[in-house]
A and B are shown apart, each in its own frame.
Chain A
């Protein structure tokens, strides 16, 4: 049988994907189901930058803030996104470590998909197409 069933990280990821975050009640449920103490479940859920225990917007953005993106203007991208999304509760904006798109900098992840060579115009287009 596969070892994968019952592993905590995939379970947490699934919940994160389904609800956009891992609520306290979800943590409790997962703890009960896996028989892993809630302290450990919480510890793991809060260890990773892409798992959230606080409610997120329907769209989660991670803008790369590592060296190659930074020296190619990621700060402007972050500033622009901050202005555009300031009061928009449907979006959660995070700065993140390298996402491996350094050859197409600046880049970001939106709902798990990579968007690269970002400009203000490109961002306008991407945000317009967002489902939620």
Chain B
């Protein structure tokens, strides 16, 4: 696997020889984009932070991998922490930061010990005066949203705020900050060091009703039918969920590119693929996911705080067979409005699963109506 290649601080040494501007140039030319789901070009983000004037800057490694069905960052932290840390060091060197944080989700606390050891080892070997501290979260999906991460580290409730200012201009403690996901940062040393680094290799997290779940490194645009073959499903596959936020589509053979998945009104995000078989009820899954969003809504903006609760209530009503057509219309209306009016990505994507389920599996909902 490309992601497991060791760089042994050679990329860090090379970066120091190249200088910040050339590091950014390499990242841009090689096309490294964020692997947390939003696919923002890393080089551009770093350039903003480099150009921002301040006496202090920060790097945050976002290890708050909370999207259901996603576990590839855990895989990297377990299997190649040294390269991840080297990526953090290159980021710190490039924007001239002296302090970095790894925001590790509370559910992964058991990884903190080994990660800390790896940090000490790499810092000692690199002989640089950057500090890397691990901040362990405490169970909040929203804290993966970059402004919520910042709030959480600063000691506030992990609630997002309206951008701008964007973190590279004004982030942690009001200082320019780059926040990159684990997979992004682990790719940095490899992009810097290796000529044959392939930007299109991604870590797919495969789970669901399958016998071969796990992390697979495959190219962007991998055929879904081939992927399902690798996953060895237990029964006939009915639907594919792209995490919870990415929505669902009926199983069909497409190439998994951002555009193709978008064409199905879904989002491939962090390449989390949950394979759901014919024995599962889409209405049950919709109820489950809407419960998840009701619980994880941070409570800051009204459409998401109130809307996720109403959506959950309405789906429960449909599930119990007490809902009528008017309830269905209210549900669709609400789902569209929450998507359009929520403050952050959590609210905006909280109804994608429902809107896509209603588009592709409407019969299952209608069967339950009074």
Residue in contact with A112 in the complex, picked from B110, B154, B156, CB distance below 8 Å = B110
Give the contacts of B276-315 with A (CB-CB under 8 A).
276, 280, 285, 288-289, 292, 295-296, 298
Can you identify 28 A-B contacts, CB atoms within 8 angstroms? A3-B133, A7-B155, A9-B152, A12-B138, A13-B106, A13-B136, A13-B138, A47-B140, A48-B140, A49-B138, A49-B295, A50-B107, A50-B139, A66-B68, A70-B285, A71-B209, A72-B208, A98-B69, A100-B66, A100-B71, A100-B107, A101-B71, A102-B274, A103-B205, A103-B207, A103-B214, A109-B107, A114-B110
Contacts A48-B106, A71-B276, A99-B107 aside, 19 further interface pairs with beta carbons under 8 A come to A4-B133, A7-B135, A12-B138, A13-B106, A13-B138, A48-B158, A65-B288, A67-B274, A67-B285, A67-B288, A72-B208, A97-B66, A98-B67, A100-B70, A100-B105, A103-B207, A103-B215, A112-B110, A114-B110
Q: Is the CB of B106 within 8 A of A113?
A: no
Which of under 10, 10 to 19, 20 to 34, or 35 or more describes the interface residues of B? 35 or more
Flag whether B244 is at the interface (Cβ < 8 A). yes
**Complex contacts, A44 vs chain B, CB 8 Å:** 155-157
Flag whether A51 is at the interface (Cβ < 8 A). yes
Contact with A along B47-69 (1 / 0, CB 8 A): 00000000000000000011111
Q: Top 6 A-B pairs ranked by shortest CB distance? A: A8-B155, A48-B138, A102-B207, A50-B139, A49-B139, A103-B213
Flag whether B46 is at the interface (Cβ < 8 A). no
**Complex contacts, B65 vs chain A, CB 8 Å:** 100
**Complex contacts, A100 vs chain B, CB 8 Å:** 65-66, 70-71, 74, 105, 107-108
How many chain A residues touch the partner (CB < 8 A)? 41
A4–B99 Cα distance when bound, in Å, is 10
Give the contacts of A21-43 with B (CB-CB under 8 A).
36, 40, 43
**Complex contacts, B141 vs chain A, CB 8 Å:** 97
Nearest Cβ in chain B — how far from A53, in angstroms?
A: 12
Q: Which residues does A use to contact B, with CB under 8 Å?
A: 2-4, 7-10, 12-13, 16, 36, 40, 43-44, 47-51, 62, 65-68, 70-72, 96-105, 109, 112-114
Nearest Cβ in chain A — how far from B298, in angstroms?
A: 8
Nearest Cβ in chain A — how far from B292, in angstroms?
A: 6
Nearest Cβ in chain B — how far from A106, in angstroms?
A: 11
Q: Is the CB of A102 within 8 A of B69?
A: yes
Q: Is the CB of A70 within 8 A of B66?
A: no
Provided the pairs A9-B135, A67-B241, A112-B110 are in contact, do residues A103 and B140 lie with their beta carbons within 8 angstroms?
A: no
Residue in contact with B157 in the complex, picked from A10, A47, A50, A72, CB distance below 8 Å = A47
Nearest Cβ in chain B — how far from A40, in angstroms?
A: 7
Q: Is the CB of B107 within 8 A of A71?
A: no
**Complex contacts, A113 vs chain B, CB 8 Å:** 110
Nearest Cβ in chain A — how far from B121, in angstroms?
A: 18
Nearest Cβ in chain B — how far from A117, in angstroms?
A: 10
Flag whether B137 is at the interface (Cβ < 8 A). yes
**Complex contacts, A104 vs chain B, CB 8 Å:** 213
Q: Closest A-chain residue to B141, C-beta based?
A: A97
**Complex contacts, A49 vs chain B, CB 8 Å:** 138-140, 295
Contact with A along B237-268 (1 / 0, CB 8 A): 00001001000000000000000000000000
Q: Is the CB of A50 within 8 A of B155?
A: no
Nearest Cβ in chain A — how far from B343, in angstroms?
A: 16
Q: Closest A-chain residue to B155, C-beta based?
A: A8
Q: Closest B-chain residue to A52, C-beta based?
A: B138
A50–B295 Cα distance when bound, in Å, is 13
**Complex contacts, B241 vs chain A, CB 8 Å:** 67
Flag whether B13 is at the interface (Cβ < 8 A). no
Nearest Cβ in chain B — how far from A71, in angstroms?
A: 5
Q: Closest A-chain residue to B112, C-beta based?
A: A112
